[in-house]
Chain A
């Protein structure tokens, strides 16, 4: 694209750069880099500086305000208490199911197709459905009552569980499909070789499949955790946005769009991002300890 007609001294330094891995091919990165800088890094640092310029008080007063107010501070814990179990459940449940379905069987395509459906539903529709289905007069409670399993309707909406279920419904299929494709990307002949050498399925799973799958699992956990951590519409619609499920994104939204206090909203957003990145960094640090090369998925 550039560097047409390299003169002799030019060719010289180009050659030396190419030895270090820098050459014209890297131009392919430029559009993406420009994009990330303009639309992600710049706004992010704009928000960061904004969070240190509160409407009143010193540079850190918005952070101090957040951490001194237990109602606000508690949102971190509330968010983690919803997001971590949901993400963990989604990934852990996906592994055995994907392991069982990685081969070929009749109806596999149907099952995977059905699993894509909840991803397309999105949080808002799921919220609406959960309100109808799990509500005190919904079918779920009716079945429980008709089967004499409970005496009075179980409260599953407008509290923690409503949000939790909405995260499982949208997050599990996502986790499952990712795990399934990571699993399918592992060359099945590796396992067959182990079987030939006399390993039973337990050993094949723990010594071959699982180690090769771990990086994929870590990535999957991160992606599902992000989905769960930024829970916003379902926390409002099926949760109890004033108390039990007042998640941190809700606090940030209220600061920005209800109180119009952008510095404070930015401060909350930064805290939110920081908390999340700490957890992601821990998972990714663990991920880097595993083998992440080709798994021979394509021959």
Chain B
């Protein structure tokens, strides 16, 4: 036991194979066991929806009686999914773009500067994340309806921006804090203005952070139920909201057609995810990772 403990974290010699092995102590087995159990259940949750969406009839058996793809066509027509998906994408792209434009400069100021009232401002930015969406969603929807902004796309976008902008600020601040301020000082001493520092020095260094927070915001917006639910009109529903409505009215429609819609939603999310993961390492959501400076 002691030898293994000592062997693991010691600074690896400069050889090619420096990866610590997975098998080590009993504690490791417990940890991996929990992870595997979690994944098995997760797999069950996802697979049962997937299987059900292809099944003809599925009652008290391990697997459905027969298989069909007709539920997809039915769900596509019944729920007007093309329009729903277009709306979802439009909303998400708008939310991501606007929240980055607003959030990144603010995150920079909050990470770098100290000024009177900074703590108060930071708290104000934190509040929308720390409050449950329903809490501010209901007053927000009331206000948006008052100004005629809810019940359509603009309402959905505005409502979804409320948690997204602070989320960008919150995820970007540690990224910016970890960039050595001397780099900026050097750039400024060489005569770069604020704009040049931002565009030529900070942005390239921040690309991983910006991508990470963009992806997080995108995923959150596509998956955001409450705010969209409260502000969407009939033709500005996103996929989750449409899915919720179809589920809560599931007595009317076949279970499998709801499952098919859920699968469409998941595959859309997975496509987003695969695209996203080409650009960002999931572990770099909050901080830059210092692993081995080899590549």
Residues of A within 8 A of B (CB): 20-22, 24-26, 28-29, 31-33, 35-36, 39-44, 46-48, 50, 93, 96-97, 100, 103-106, 109, 111-130, 132-133, 137-140, 142, 169, 172, 177-178, 180-182, 184-185, 187-188, 191-192, 195, 200-201, 204, 216, 222-223, 226, 229-230, 232-233, 236-237, 249, 252-253, 256, 262, 265-266, 269-270, 272-273, 276-277, 280, 294-299
Contact = CB atoms under 8 A, between A and B. Distances in A.
Most B-side CB within 10 Å, residue of A20, A22, A96, A129: A129
Contacts of A272: 132, 134-135
A270 B135 contact: yes
B139 A269 contact: yes
Interface string B56-75: 00011010000000000000
Contacts of A280: 130
Given A36-B125, A40-B127, A230 B226 contact: yes
B225 A222 contact: no
B214 to A, nearest CB: 15
A119 B221 CA distance: 12
Contact of B282 (A106, A112, A122, A188): A112
Interface of B is mostly: helix
A93 B37 CA distance: 13
A31 B168 CA distance: 14
B290 A184 contact: yes
A282 to B, nearest CB: 12
A237 B262 CA distance: 14
Contacts of A109: 281-282
Nearest to A194: B9
Contacts of B285: 177-178, 181
B226 A29 contact: no
Given A120-B273, A124-B243, A172-B38, A297 B290 contact: yes
B226 A232 contact: yes
B113 interface: yes
B269 A269 contact: no
Contacts of B116: 20-22
B136 A25 contact: no
B165 A36 contact: yes
Contacts, number: 308
A43 B136 contact: yes
B258 interface: yes
B95 interface: no
A8 B3 CA distance: 72
Q: Which of B31, B128, B290 has the most C-beta atoms of chain A within 10 angstroms of its own C-beta?
A: B290
B290 A44 contact: no
A129 B46 contact: yes
Interface string B153-194: 000001101100110010000100111100000000000001
B234 interface: no
16 contacts: A28-B105, A29-B109, A40-B140, A43-B136, A50-B142, A93-B34, A117-B46, A128-B259, A132-B45, A140-B44, A169-B45, A192-B10, A232-B226, A252-B135, A269-B139, A299-B293
Given A32-B165, A253-B138, A269-B136, 9 more contacts: A21-B113, A29-B109, A43-B142, A96-B27, A112-B281, A117-B270, A122-B223, A249-B135, A295-B287
A125 B142 CA distance: 28
Nearest to B273: A120
Which 3 pairs from chain A and chain B are nearest by CB?
Answer: A47-B139, A185-B287, A230-B132
B44 A122 contact: no
Contacts of B141: 256
Contact of A127 (B19, B41, B247): B247
B22 A105 contact: yes
Contacts of B273: 113, 116-117, 120
Contact of B290 (A178, A188, A195): A188
Interface string B251-295: 000000011001001100110110001000111111111111100
Contacts of B60: 137
Contacts of A137: 59-60
A42 B139 CA distance: 9
B290 to A, nearest CB: 5
A222 to B, nearest CB: 6
